[in-house]
Chains A and B, each alone.
Chain A
């Protein structure tokens, strides 16, 4: 079964750091690009970051540039998000999602249930 399981969320004070992990199983992780997408309480989905299969290409949404770093370890089938200088507005459920790009079609086809990050104001 294709599965993504996030971990590492928690309560952290403003200015603090947290490292999220996403464990992949049931597919060839090293062949896929991956994303982090977050959802603030009662709000919609917001894309956070993207990483290519070989880690050569990384993209970030403007609000996290310089604070968050996406990485992966293909040998461990794992995706990471290092979050520094956390702010109250970073409070959200963070999902990892598999990214498919084929024949000019782009979509995220598998999502994890998410891990919750809370930064009090």
Chain B
């Protein structure tokens, strides 16, 4: 049982916009920033969004993040086949540990 709650799956067709939600609590998302990671099959996780809505260098602006209260979301616009991956939200928890969502498997139809 993950501390942060994400839908197990999401899907969309090429060119569509999809969103993935992440719900937490006052001790994690409510008081700290949210990060998103993309994990392609067989690969290491890759930082996709940090500090709620910041993109590291090299991440396309099709990816965006937002946060409100104890929830956050990742949006992917102009969906592409190479976006098919697992996506994880994460935040630092005030009980002195990192917490993750259970992951969302994104399928491009």
Shortest beta-carbon distance from A18 to chain B in Å: 20
Whether the pair B90, A45 counts as a contact (CB closer than 8 A) is yes
**Size class of the A contact interface (CB-based, 8 Å):** 20 to 34
How distant is A84 from chain B, measured CB to nearest CB, in Å?
20
B contact residues, total (Cβ < 8 Å):
28
> Are the C-beta atoms of B102 and A44 separated by less than 8 Å?
yes
Residue of A59, A97, A104, A106 most packed against chain B (CB within 10 A): A106
Contact with A along B77-101 (1 / 0, CB 8 A): 0000000001010111000111111
- A106 touching B100, Cβ below 8 Å: no
Instruction: Contact check, A107 vs B50: say whether CB atoms are below 8 A apart.
Output: yes
Once A44-B102, A45-B37 are accepted as A-B contacts, the answer to whether A107 and B47 lie under 8 Å apart by CB is yes
Q: List 30 A-B contacts (CB under 8 A).
A: A35-B98, A37-B45, A44-B88, A44-B102, A44-B103, A45-B37, A45-B39, A45-B45, A45-B100, A47-B98, A50-B97, A50-B98, A61-B97, A95-B44, A97-B45, A100-B50, A104-B33, A105-B51, A106-B32, A106-B33, A106-B92, A107-B33, A107-B35, A107-B51, A108-B90, A108-B98, A109-B47, A109-B50, A110-B47, A114-B44
Instruction: List residues of A whose CB falls within 8 A of some B CB.
Output: 35, 37, 44-47, 50, 59, 61, 95, 97, 100, 104-114
